[in-house]
Amino acid sequence: MSKRYLERGVSSQKEDVHKAIKNQDKGLFNNTFCKVVPDILSNDHKYCNVMHADGAGTKSALAYLYWKETGDISVWRGIAQDALIMNIDDLICVGITDNIIMSSTIGRNKHIIPGEVISQIIEGNNDIINMLKAYDINITSAGGETADVGDITRTIIVDSTVIGREKREKIVRCNIKGGDIIIGLSSSGRAKYEKEFNSGIGSNGLTSARHDILSNIYSQKYPETYAKETNKNFIYCGKRLLTDNCVSHENIGKLLLSPTRTYAPLIKRLLVNHFKNISGIIHCTGGGQTKVLHFCENKKIIKNDLFEIPEIFKIIYEDTNSSLKEMYEVFNMGHRMEIYCDSGIANDIINIANEFQIEAKIIGFVEESSKNSLIIQSEKETIEY
C-alpha cells in the first residue's frame, strides 16, 4: 500500500484485524461471507443466526463537510443508508434476505452535531427500510443508542447492527470452483429502486478519496474532520472543492456522497431461482476487487472483462497518481457485488439484473491452482495479486 494511505491510519486489507481473529471459532461453516452460528434465538437445530455490524465509516466526515459548506442537511439521510446497507448487503451474501432486525448506534460530538442531524439519520433509516419493504425485504428497527461522546469522537460515527435467522440448508457457502464464471453487478447507474444516479463509490476508501481530491482549505476550516496526529502533507492535499462541477452529479461533493447501492432485491430473486447453482456471493467492500481472496482456496481468479471505470474513480486515479493496483485494492472500481456460478445460469442472472435496471455481465472466470491468486486485466495493464 502507498505511504499516503497508511499515513492516514487506514488499511484496506485490515491485516491487524485478520491476525487478531485468525484463531477464533469460524461458526457453523468454515467458509461463509459472514459468520454463521447456531440458532441461539429459538434453539432450532434446523436454523441458524447471523449477526453483523458495520457503518458508514469516514463518509460521515465527508457529509459533515458538505453540510457545513452548503447547509444541505439532507446528506445525512444518505449516511443512514450507507450504514444500513453495508450490513444488509453482507447478509445477502450468505442468503439472508428477509425478516432482519436492525439496531442503530450513533456516537456524536454534541458540541457540533445538533439534534436535527440525528433526526435526518433516523428518517434516512426509515426511507431505506420502506423502500426494501416494497421488495419483500422486511427490516424491523429495534431502536439503538445515540451517545454523546465528544471526548472520543470529533464529529459523528454512524453504525448499524443487524441480525437474521435462516434455515441452515439455505445458507450460501463460498465453495468457489474451477470452471465457475464471475458475474459482476455494476455499482453505478440508476437502479429501478434508486431516486437518482449512483456514482458507485459505496462506503470504502473515503478517507483516501476525501483527502486526496479535496482542497487544503478544508483542513483550515474544519480541523475536526481529521486526526491531529496525521502528517499535514496528507491532509486535504487535492485541488477540488466540494461544489466543483462534475459530469454525473450536481457537484463533486454529491458525487462522493452518493449513497451505497443495495443489491438486496436482486439477490433475493436470484436465490429463489438459482440457489443450488451459486458457488459464492462476494461483496467487494474492504479490499475492493481483492476481497474474494479471503473466500477461496487454491484458486486463480481471473477478471478480464470489467466494467468501464466510473467517473468518481477516474477522478481519484487522475488526481492522486495512484497505481491501478492500489486503486483496485481500495475501491470497487465499477462493480461491488460478484456472483460465482455455473455458466449455464449466466444469461438468466443478467436478465434479472436488467429488470432491476442494474447492468450485469460476465467479468471473469475461475481456474484451479496450487495457490490463491487474482489477475485483473484493466483498461491499461494486467495486475496480479
Q: Provide the domain limits for residue 129.
A: 3-384
Percent of the chain with pLDDT over 90: 89
How far is residue 142 from each of residues 103, 182, 254, measured CA to CA in Å?
5, 36, 30
Q: What is the pLDDT of residues 282-316, one digit of tens each?
A: 999 999 999 999 999 999 999 999 999 999 999 99
Q: Residue 24: its pLDDT value, please? A: 76
pLDDT, averaged across the chain: 94
356 pLDDT above the threshold of 80: yes
Assign residue 357 the CATH number of its domain.
3.90.650.10
Other CB atoms within a 10 A radius of the CB of residue 380 amount to 9
Burial of 46 (0-12, 13-18, 19+ CB in 10 A): exposed
CA 40 to chain centre: 28
Rounded CA-CA distance 256/258 in Å is 6
Helix 206-213 crosses helix 311-320 at what angle (to 10 degrees)? 60
Q: Residues 160, 53: contact at Cβ < 8 Å? A: yes
Q: Residue 14: its pLDDT value, please? A: 59
Q: Residue 1: its pLDDT value, please? A: 45
Rounded CA-CA distance 14/24 in Å is 16
Rounded CA-CA distance 210/226 in Å is 10
Rounded CA-CA distance 131/218 in Å is 35
Give the count of domains, the chain: 1
Residue listed under C-alpha cell 483527502: 211
* Averaged pLDDT for residues 157-162: 98
Q: Which three cell numbers stand for residue 43?
A: 434453539
How far is residue 382 from each of residues 1, 160, 312, measured CA to CA in Å?
18, 37, 21
217 pLDDT above the threshold of 90: yes
Q: Helix (H, G, I), strand (E, B), or coil: what is residue 187?
A: coil
Q: What is the pLDDT of residues 239-290, one digit of tens each?
A: 999 999 999 999 999 999 999 999 999 999 999 999 999 999 999 999 999 9
Percent of the chain with pLDDT over 70: 95
Greatest CA separation for the chain: 58
In this structure, the chain runs to a length of: 385
Q: Kindly state the DSSP code that residue 214 receives in the 8-state scheme.
A: B
Summarize the chain as % helix, strand, coil (round to 5): 35, 25, 40
377 pLDDT above the threshold of 70: yes
Please report, to the nearest 10 degrees, the dihedral formed by the alpha carbons of residues 340, 346, 349, 350 taken in order.
Answer: 110
- Helix (H) or strand (E) holding 367, with range, is strand 360-368
Q: Residue 50: its pLDDT value, please? A: 98
Q: What is the pLDDT of residues 96-148, one digit of tens each?
A: 999 999 999 999 999 999 999 999 999 999 999 999 999 999 999 999 999 99
Rounded CA-CA distance 352/127 in Å is 24
* Averaged pLDDT for residues 222-233: 92
Q: Which three cell numbers stand for residue 93?
A: 451474501
Nearest to 61 by CA among 190, 249, 208: 208
Query: pTM to 2 decimals?
Result: 0.94
How far is residue 46 from each of residues 38, 163, 261, 270, measured CA to CA in Å?
9, 17, 32, 23
Residue listed under C-alpha cell 445515540: 146
Q: Residues 88, 139: contact at Cβ < 8 Å? A: yes
11 pLDDT above the threshold of 70: no
Q: What is the pLDDT of residues 166-212, one digit of tens each?
A: 999 999 999 999 999 999 999 999 999 999 999 999 999 999 899 99
